[in-house]
Chains A and B, each alone.
Chain A
């Protein structure tokens, strides 16, 4: 049982480049989320989705975009990368009944 899978695990970007962080889950969860974690801090919600075709902004959405064309996949797009986007990104999913999140292993992004 794979759970939540994120790729890539590590990436270095130059300022102004774009990239997509991939996230897929095999638990048939309707709810999916993207969080970022800065060093020594808690997690902040970037975007979330309550089902295929439905997405909404979280606390820190600027500079990011998402889409949800299937239940399984929830990619996060970074446009025009900036040093402030250097962070560890976690994708998570939940059934929705209890709200308990299941996290992926994280994607460590550095923007230079």
Chain B
């Protein structure tokens, strides 16, 4: 059974600081996704990582995938308040696209 674990689960940051969220998974996969969820809202796709060594960047967020280590990271650079949200990683471990196993989510709060 595929397990996906994120850490930390709660992250309180000051504006301007850098930090990394980690996503570990238990079985072989080369398809990993990051989503953002604002309170009471739906999930918004941030990054799609489809191969070992994949790196994607959008604004202050950068995601990477190491399939050999079964690890993805979401790096936050110079955090701003607007980044406050819950971030989920999700791994596709099956043969059908979209059968994702989600991590528990990391609740990020950015303080002034």
Binding site for B on A (CB under 8 A): 31, 33, 40-45, 48, 50, 56, 58-59, 90, 92, 94, 96-106
A42 with B103: CB separation less than 8 A: yes
User: Which B residues are CB-close (under 8 A) to A103?
Assistant: 42-44
B interface residues, Cβ below 8 angstroms from A: 4, 31, 33, 41-45, 48, 50, 88, 90, 92, 96-105
Give the nearest-CB partner of A100 in chain B. B48
CB-based A-B contact count at 8 angstroms: 68
> What 4 A-B pairs are tightest by C-beta distance, nearest first?
A42-B102, A99-B97, A94-B98, A96-B97
Within 8 Å CB of A105, what residues of B? 41-42
CA distance A75 to B95 in the complex (A): 23
Choose from B33, B42, B50, B99 the contact partner of A58 (Cβ within 8 Å): B99
